[in-house]
């Protein structure tokens, strides 16, 4: 049993994600009807079933293992640098801090295969609609993805406050998974939007490894990972090697099994570590494709002189 | 697991069933089809500089194989309204050829075996050769 040392919240924190589920359902049905009527966007029943089943599995895993991450938060909080109270200024700081932690979690989840093995699930649909938002990992707790938020509780933000903003971020990110909303003007300068996130889900070389934001796009602009959607380069969704199955168990585990096979065949510790913690696609001889090599090949093709007619 | 949690899980399952049924009822059940043109296009998208030497497409248009000039194989399968591909060295494939079926197995749990019915015609020589070189017994 966890005995909280944190100052109590001055209000009852509602189960934010649970309360949002009816809205998720209604918005998905509304998006389906809109797409049926206008053709702006795509749905495929089996793909949506796959996404929703991945979300269902994520819910089950959260019930079974979510307590491990929460216990980790409280354990680190025990060794905090300060005790930060619930106040308007701490809530403001925690909002920005949580969003920054999300940015780094998300960026590293794309740049290091260990975390990618868990996060890749979210990217395995070749569709981009509101059901894609619910295509979530089953192995996030086991892969220790939650460690990226530990600095916040170590500084002294109450774990409940951090968890509250994580839930708000998750709910915020639901609506940006759609092709039905175009560009959004000045709102896009600061906030993550459907356009920004379409770029993030795209496999077009120029869009790879971009727009990791949760709520605020400012982090991508600050850290040099922002790419704007180009009307002349329509996003193609999925992963570099798209899956050939809708089976949720294969979807959830394929990259982990890939890591296990590669590590089993590694000829040295360096190779094993490279397969586990190198960029996705890393191989000792460079024979596989990484985002960097795909982008470099694409850039070289762009720079190549056009043959005279 | 308490009763409210079970309600929550059961409710989620029911809602998923409703949403998938709604998607199906609205006609969001599409099936792409693979033919020679589609395979050529997929190769051009995957390896812009590659040259297709041979092709083999399933009679039902659900799968296809293209052999490239450098010996690699591009495999394609229909995934609903989309097509999913793998580009691999020929030696990384396991082909099992029987009188009425060709099965191609990949070393990738995310890409289950492809099956081609061979009722109408025998597979081309390059497939038979490939199966002979790397086929499992």
pLDDT exceeds cutoff 60 at A253: yes
> Which residues touch A287 (CB under 8 Å, ≥6 apart)?
none
Q: Are A119 and A110 in contact (CB under 8 A)?
A: yes
**Binary contact (A46, B29; C-beta < 8 A):** yes
B26-60 pLDDT, tens digit per residue, is 999 989 999 999 999 999 988 888 999 999 999 99
The answer for A 125-154 residues in CB contact with B (under 8 A) is: 126-127, 131
> Residue B28 is inside which H or E element, if any?
none
Q: Are A26 and B59 in contact (CB under 8 A)?
A: no
Q: With contacts defined as CB-CB under 8 Å, which chain A residues touch B5?
A: 63
Nearest to A140 by CA among A117, A112, A113, A123: A117
Tell me the average pLDDT of chain A.
95
- Nearest CA-CA partner of B117 in B63, B72, B47: B63
* A280 against B118, higher pLDDT: A280
Length of chain B: 137
Beta carbon pairs, A and B, within 8 Å: 108
pLDDT tens digit string along B56-112?
999 999 999 999 999 999 999 999 999 999 999 999 999 999 988 999 999 999 999
CA of A127, closest CA in chain B: separation in Å? Answer: 9
pTM over 0.80: yes
Q: Is the pLDDT of residue A261 over 70?
A: yes
pLDDT of residue A165: 98
State mean pLDDT over A247-256.
97
Q: pLDDT per residue over A52-99, tens digit each?
A: 999 999 999 999 999 999 999 999 999 999 999 999 999 999 999 999
């Amino acid at each position: 049993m966890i005995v909280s040392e944190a100052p109590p919240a001055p209000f009852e924190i509602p189960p934010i994600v649970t309360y949002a589920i009816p809205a998720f359902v209604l918005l998905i049905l509304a998006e389906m009807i809109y797409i049926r009527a206008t053709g702006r966007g795509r749905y495929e029943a089996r793909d949506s079933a796959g996404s929703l089943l991945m979300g269902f599995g994520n819910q089950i895993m959260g019930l079974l293992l979510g307590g491990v991450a929460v216990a980790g938060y409280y354990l680190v909080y025990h060794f905090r640098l300060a005790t930060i109270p619930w106040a308007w200024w701490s809530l403001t700081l925690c909002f920005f801090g949580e969003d920054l932690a999300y940015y780094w979690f998300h960026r590293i989840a794309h740049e290091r295969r260990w975390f990618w093995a868990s996060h890749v699930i979210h990217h395995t649909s070749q569709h981009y609609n509101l059901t894609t938002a619910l295509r979530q990992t089953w192995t996030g707790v086991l892969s220790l993805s939650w460690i990226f938020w530990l600095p916040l509780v170590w500084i002294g933000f109450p774990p409940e406050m951090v968890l509250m903003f994580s839930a708000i971020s998750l709910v915020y990110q639901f609506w940006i998974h759609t092709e039905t909303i175009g560009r959004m003007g000045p709102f896009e300068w600061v906030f993550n939007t459907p356009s920004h996130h379409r770029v993030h889900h795209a496999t077009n070389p120029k869009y790879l490894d971009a727009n990791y934001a949760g709520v605020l796009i400012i982090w991508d602009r600050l850290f040099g990972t922002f790419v704007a959607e180009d009307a002349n380069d329509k996003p193609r969704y999925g992963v570099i090697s798209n899956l050939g199955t809708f089976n949720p168990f294969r979807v959830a585990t394929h990259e982990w099994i890939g890591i296990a096979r590669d590590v089993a065949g590694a000829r040295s510790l360096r190779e094993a570590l490279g397969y586990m913690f190198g960029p996705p696609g890393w191989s000792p001889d460079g024979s596989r494709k990484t985002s960097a090599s795909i982008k470099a090949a694409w850039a070289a093709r762009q720079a190549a002189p056009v043959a005279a007619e | 697991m308490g009763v409210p949690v079970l309600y929550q899980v059961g409710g989620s399952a029911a809602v998923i069933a409703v949403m998938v049924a709604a998607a199906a009822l609205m006609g969001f059940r599409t099936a792409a089809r693979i033919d020679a043109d589609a395979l050529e296009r997929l190769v051009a998208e995957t390896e812009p500089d590659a040259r297709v030497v041979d092709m083999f497409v399933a009679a039902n248009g659900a799968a296809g194989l293209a052999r490239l000039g450098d010996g690699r194989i591009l495999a394609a399968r229909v995934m609903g309204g989309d097509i999913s591909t793998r580009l691999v060295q020929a030696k990384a494939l396991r082909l099992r050829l029987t009188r009425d079926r060709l099965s191609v197995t990949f070393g990738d749990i995310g890409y289950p075996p492809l099956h081609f019915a061979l009722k109408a015609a025998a597979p081309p020589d390059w497939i038979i050769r490939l199966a002979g070189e790397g086929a499992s017994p």
